[in-house]
Amino acid sequence: MADLTEKLKNISEKIGRDFVKTDLQTVAQYAIDGLTPAAVIFPKNTAEVSDVVKFANQLRLAIVPWGSGSQIRMGNPPRKLDLVVCTRRLNHMLDVDTQNLTITVEAGVKLRDIQARLATEEDRCYLPLEDLNIAADEIICSDRSHSGCFIPLDPPSSEKTTIGGVVAGSASGPRRLLYNLPRDIILGVRFVTPQGDVPGSGGKTVKNVSGYDISKLMVGSMGSLGIITEMTFRLMPLPEKMKTLLLGFDSLDAAHRCVNSILKTKLLPAAVETMTAAAYEHLGFKGAPEFSPGRVAVAISLEAFAPAVDRMQREMLKTAKDHGVLSSAVFDEHKHLQFWLAVSAQDAGFDAAYANLIRAKVNFHISQWKEIFEFADRSLTALKIGHAIRAHSGSGICLINLLMDRGAEGQKQKALAFMEELLQLSRKAGGNTVIQNAPADLKPKLKIWGEAGSDLVAMKLLKQQLDPNDVMSPGRFVGGL
């Protein structure tokens, strides 16, 4: 290690001593699954990232890229960890072209800063800016374009996540129902390869079939093929009207019937989020005081032309009534934004509050959400493990948080058996189960990325070709890649 410290001087000289941190206090903050890096490096642009990666590749050092750290608990424990490369200083918006509805940004730009930049003159924005507690020293774009558009993404931790993190983790949220996934809105990418080269792909046109679609390959690649440094996305005009419907039901059956009849209509909600009462209560949302979630709450996001929102509200409330809704609440604009921000912040809140938290993201055939939801709720209740479940109904995704605190050793063992059952059930429902967070000691006993499919062989071919020295996030991804 002393040897490495000596060698790090080279890189310190290149990018500045202040930006290569080796002190114990700093490196400890960047530990991953119990492994502490020898150094944390803060390059300021793509060229510097390239310098760092070339250096690491020469010495066969292992790198894990880091944005805001909001998804760093995902993945297998790294096989090896020498350097954390933090994208925090790559925080420039390179091309904000609202007329063409595209934006090009560096990886360390925060999602909220992009939304703020795209807000209207009256600060109408896709995030509730005044609720974000943005510290004065943090960069927020002063040069507003007043365009009234937004980047159609609502990943977890929308208030702090970096855009590079959203893309590398293919992070999505409830409103993917209407706006789809990061893969669907990315138009171009530039990244630093494991050898330190800086290729690009795609561009700023929505249609582009010149060469392989490497942007999509990089989305969700979890830092295992390189460090994404620049991305271009398509934007959307801000919805004319935004509204939330909250519906409380006394049983999952009733909620399920109501949700399914809504999804069968031609109406186009932005999100249909079904959650256990515990998940709702944990949101700590103060905006609907009269609302009682019952046993299962359904939150529907409506984002469209004003008359369409009004019609959806009318028809969906009627459907809810037909299915025996216990309680309902409707709110718009600012409260709407606050509510969905709270949903987005929930998982990070759990991560911070529960030392032994396990979170699974289950995917499955769209029609199967009730089976997965019901199985998890019933099993975890029987095991006396506190839990919060949310399903992106209509998208075939369910998020299951096992709220286990320090010292819950007995529960942890039971949780392992539950996770295995959940995995098998999700396989039967045509999907898989990914563990988004688990205590470091449990990770080796869990199938973090679910069960590998027949395409693992192709993933290995790619990884070996592009990262022969296993420099980038070694061991963290699917199949131990």
Partner 1 sequence: MDKQKLIERLKEIVDPEYVLTTEMDLALYSYDASLDKAKPDVVVLPDSTEQVSKIMALAYKEKIPILGRGSGTNLTGGTIPVKGGIVVHFSRMNRILKLDYENLTATAEPGVITLDLQTRVLKDGFIYQPDPASQKVSTLGGNVGENSGGPHCLKYGVTSNHVQGLEVVLADGTVIQTGGESRDNPGFDLTGLFVGSEGTIGMVTKVILKLEKAPEAVKTMLAIFETIEDGANTVSAIIAEGIIPATLEMMDNTVMRAVEETIKVGYPLDAAAVLIIELDGMPEGMEEKALKIMEICKKNNVREVKLAKNENERTILWAGRKGAFGSVGQVRPSYLCCDGTVPRTKLPEVLSKVIEIGKKYRLPIGNVFHAGDGNLHPLIMFDERDEDEKQRVLKASTEILKLCADAGGTISGEHGVGLEKLKETHFIFNEGDLQLERDIKSAFDADNILNPGKMIPAAESAV
Residues 196-215 within binding reach of partner 1 (CB under 8 A): 197-201, 203-215
Shortest separation between residue 211's beta carbon and partner 1, angstroms: 5
Shortest separation between residue 352's beta carbon and partner 1, angstroms: 25
| Amino acid symbol at 383 | L
Which of 142/465 has CB closer to partner 1? Answer: 465
* Contact positions with partner 1 (CB under 8 A) in 1-60: none
Select from 311, 305, 312, 298 the least CA-distant residue to 252.
298
Shortest separation between residue 282's beta carbon and partner 1, angstroms: 23
* Contact positions with partner 1 (CB under 8 A) in 349-388: 361, 363-367
Which of 309/408 has CB closer to partner 1? Answer: 309
Q: Which of 25, 133, 142, 454 binds partner 1 (CB under 8 A)?
A: 454
* Contact positions with partner 1 (CB under 8 A) in 119-178: 148-149, 170, 172
Instruction: Look at strands 358-363 and 271-276 and give their pairing.
Output: unpaired
Q: Which of 111, 225, 262, 446 binds partner 1 (CB under 8 A)?
A: 225
Q: Which of 16, 34, 410, 453 binds partner 1 (CB under 8 A)?
A: 453
Which of 168/385 has CB closer to partner 1? Answer: 168
Q: Which stretch binds partner 1 (CB under 8 A): 34-42, 293-301, 415-423, 429-437?
A: 429-437
Please give the Cα distance from 106 to 93 (Å, whole number).
Answer: 6
* Contact positions with partner 1 (CB under 8 A) in 266-285: 266-268
Please give the Cα distance from 287 to 279 (Å, whole number).
Answer: 16
* Contact positions with partner 1 (CB under 8 A) in 75-104: 97, 99-102
Which of 245/326 has CB closer to partner 1? Answer: 245
Q: Which stretch binds partner 1 (CB under 8 A): 151-159, 217-225, 321-329, 370-378?
A: 217-225
Which of 74/296 has CB closer to partner 1? Answer: 74
Q: Which of 310, 332, 374, 470 binds partner 1 (CB under 8 A)?
A: 310
* Contact positions with partner 1 (CB under 8 A) in 231-260: 236-238, 240
- Total site size for partner 1, rule CB under 8 A: 85
Shortest separation between residue 425's beta carbon and partner 1, angstroms: 13
Shortest separation between residue 464's beta carbon and partner 1, angstroms: 7
Shortest separation between residue 47's beta carbon and partner 1, angstroms: 13
Shortest separation between residue 463's beta carbon and partner 1, angstroms: 8
Shortest separation between residue 263's beta carbon and partner 1, angstroms: 9
* Contact positions with partner 1 (CB under 8 A) in 384-423: 395-397
Q: Do the beta carbons of residue 50 and residue 197 sit within 8 Å?
A: yes
For the chain, give the secondary structure using H, E and C.
CHHHHHHHHHHHHHHCHHHEECCHHHHHHCCECCECCCEEECCCCHHHHHHHHHHHHHHCCCEEEECCCCCCCCCCCCCCCCEEEECCCCCCEEEEECCCCEEEEECCCEHHHHHHHCCCCCCCCCCCHHHCCCCCCCCCCCCCCCCCEECCCCCCCCCCCEHHHHHHCCCCCCCHHHHCCHHHHEEEEEEECCCCCCCEEECCCCCCCCCCCHHHHHCCCCCCCCEEEEEEEECEECCCEEEEEEEEECCHHHHHHHHHHHHHCCCCCCEEEEEEHHHHHHHCCCCCCCCCCECEEEEEEEEECHHHHHHHHHHHHHHHHHCCCCEEEEEEHHHHHHHHHHHHHHHHHHHHHCCCCEEEEEECCHHHHHHHHHHHHHHHHHCCCCEEEEEECCCCEEEEEECCCCCCHHHHHHHHHHHHHHHHHHHHCCCEEEEEECCCCCHHHCCCCCCCCCCHHHHHHHHHHHCCCCCECCCCCHHHC
Please give the structure tokens belonging to residue 7. 């060698």
Which of 141/167 has CB closer to partner 1? Answer: 167
For 67-93, letters b (16+ CB in 10 Å) and e give bbbbbbbbbbebeebbbbbbbbbbbbb
Q: Which of 140, 452, 469, 470 binds partner 1 (CB under 8 A)?
A: 452
Shortest separation between residue 207's beta carbon and partner 1, angstroms: 4
Q: State the greatest distance between any 2 C-alpha atoms of the chain, in Å, as a whole number.
A: 72
183 binds partner 1 (CB under 8 A): yes
Shortest separation between residue 403's beta carbon and partner 1, angstroms: 23
Please give the Cα distance from 341 to 82 (Å, whole number).
Answer: 35
Shortest separation between residue 59's beta carbon and partner 1, angstroms: 22
Which of 35/214 has CB closer to partner 1? Answer: 214
Which of 132/397 has CB closer to partner 1? Answer: 397
Which of 30/191 has CB closer to partner 1? Answer: 191
